[in-house]
Amino acid sequence: MKLEVTYDFVCPWCYLGLTQLSRAIATVQSTDPQVTLWPFQLMPELPASGVDNAQFVVDLMGKERAAQMLAKMEVLGREAGITIDYAKITTLPNTYLAHQLVRTLTQGADGLGFALELMAAHFSGAANLGDRAYLSEVAMRRGFSGEEIQACWSGPEANDDMRLSRERADRLGIRGVPNYIIDGRPTAGSLPEHQWVSLFGASSRGEQCAG
């Protein structure tokens, strides 16, 4: 199965969706989906330093609606066994640097694991994903050198992947995330683990995967 995943780190539906996908891959060990991660910045206009998360959400939705949405996502997170704690998230980051890092250094299952590690850090309030020092620390724990990390952000081809990702999203009409293209067939939303397992099984039998 060829699986293209378009996502952003600060999207809670992406965190839920990629978690379910990762669990399904671990469950169905006999299949090896070819996973390609595509960056998608929901808010590319944010300053490099990010903005106050709580104020941004209130300005976007209004206080009452924001409270309802955040509470709902925290409940969904607990039901999925992941932590989403908006009270602890101080900064809504510009995700450009994080996307560059994951996209340039990793792909496939390694990229999925890297992305989920960063999402977990964001949604638990443990880290600012726009902080170069934090991102470098995580990447170095994964075995990458300082030179490799800096090249992701300052090398001659540093902007190519993000530009190509934006052009791809425009060409395919992708306006929101998570978005999946499964063996060339588009689907959207956060699929549950059992549905991924079913899709992997169909693919292994040579059946067409319906999103």
pLDDT at res. 204 = 65
Sequence-distant (≥ 6) Cβ neighbours of residue 31 within 8 angstroms: 1, 25, 200, 201, 203, 204
pLDDT at res. 211 = 47
pTM over 0.85: yes
pLDDT at res. 150 = 92
Q: How many CA atoms lie within 13 A of 159 on its CB side?
A: 1
Query: From CA 72, how far away is CA 66, in angstroms rounded?
Result: 10
pLDDT at res. 108 = 85
C-alpha Rg value of the chain to the nearest Å: 17
According to DSSP, the β-strands at 2-7 and 34-39 are parallel
Question: What is the DSSP track for 153-195?
Answer: HHSTTTTHHHHHHHHHHHHHT--SSSEEEETTEEEES---HHH
List, as own/partner pairs, every contact residues 57-63 make where C-beta atoms lie below 8 angstroms and the sequence separation is at least 24, other chains included: 57/86, 57/92
pLDDT at res. 154 = 87
Residue 197's CB: how many other CB atoms inside 10 A?
17
Evaluate whether 84 touches 74 at the Cβ level (below 8 Å). Answer: yes
pLDDT at res. 205 = 67
pLDDT at res. 162 = 83
What Å distances lie between residue 146 and 43, 112, 127, 200, CA to CA? 28, 21, 20, 37
**Mean pLDDT per 10-residue segment, the chain (211 residues):** 94 96 85 87 94 95 95 95 96 96 90 96 95 96 94 79 90 93 82 88 64 47
pLDDT at res. 88 = 96
